[in-house]
Structure formats: C-alpha cells, structure tokens
C-alpha cells in the first residue's frame, strides 16, 4: 500500500530483511582491503617494529620471525614485510590461495 510518497516502495524493500544467508566478501577482496589499510597506515608513520610486536606476544609469520632474528636495524624491522611477501600476491590474486603460514594475515581471509 503506497501513500503516494515517491520512492516509498523502494525504501520499504530496502529495509525489509533479506532472504537467505548474507553474501560473504571474497578472500581476494579481503586481502586487497587489508593491503590498502596497511599502505595507508604506513603513510602516517612507521609501523611497530617486529621486535616490539614479538615482545607484546603477538604472532609473527615465518618471514617476520627470520627478519626479527636478523642483525638489521629497528627501522628496517618496522618495514611492512607483507608488501614483498608472496602470500600477499597470492591472497590478492587467487581465491582460496594455498597459503598456510602460521600468523599470516592473508591466511585468515581464505575461505577454508
């Protein structure tokens, strides 16, 4: 029943509950969004160094663990290693990518 207000039916359909399960974002889209957020965060200043991250008992992926043990400066340890990691490339380009590194953020986005 319409009261003559233009577009009212449209807004009623928009506000009505959807049938079926909600659509999920693809793992590729989630990976791209995460990468974009990290790029934006790095623009505002250096990221937390790997040594600080490890000291706070946050999980490090295998490549971050290697970099944490390497004799390099803290400035380099605050570099976003995901930018050069193959897991990011796979996550952004392949749906259900074969990534299984522990504590890798791109693994969490895969639909398994």
Spatial contact of 50 and 68, defined as CB atoms under 8 Å apart: yes
Give the total number of structural domains in the chain.
1
Is the residue at 1 inside a domain?
no
Helices (H), 44-104: 50-55, 62-69, 74-77, 86-93
Is the residue at 3 inside a domain?
no
From the first residue on, what is the mean pLDDT of each consecutive set of 10 residues in the chain (112 residues)? 66 75 84 92 83 87 87 84 88 89 87 63
Is the residue at 68 inside a domain?
yes
Is the residue at 65 inside a domain?
yes
pTM over 0.75: no
Domain encompassing residue 86 = 23-108
């Amino acid at each position: 029943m319409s009261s003559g207000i233009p577009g009212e039916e449209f807004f009623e359909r928009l506000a009505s509950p959807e049938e079926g399960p909600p659509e999920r974002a693809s793992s590729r889209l989630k990976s791209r969004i995460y990468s974009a957020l990290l790029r934006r965060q790095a623009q505002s200043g250096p990221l937390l160094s790997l040594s600080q991250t490890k000291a706070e008992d946050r999980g490090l992926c295998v490549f971050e663990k290697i970099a944490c043990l390497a004799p390099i400066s803290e400035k380099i340890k605050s570099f976003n290693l995901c930018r050069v990691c193959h897991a990011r490339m796979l996550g952004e380009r392949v749906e259900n990518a074969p990534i299984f590194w522990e504590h890798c953020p791109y693994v969490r986005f895969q639909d398994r």
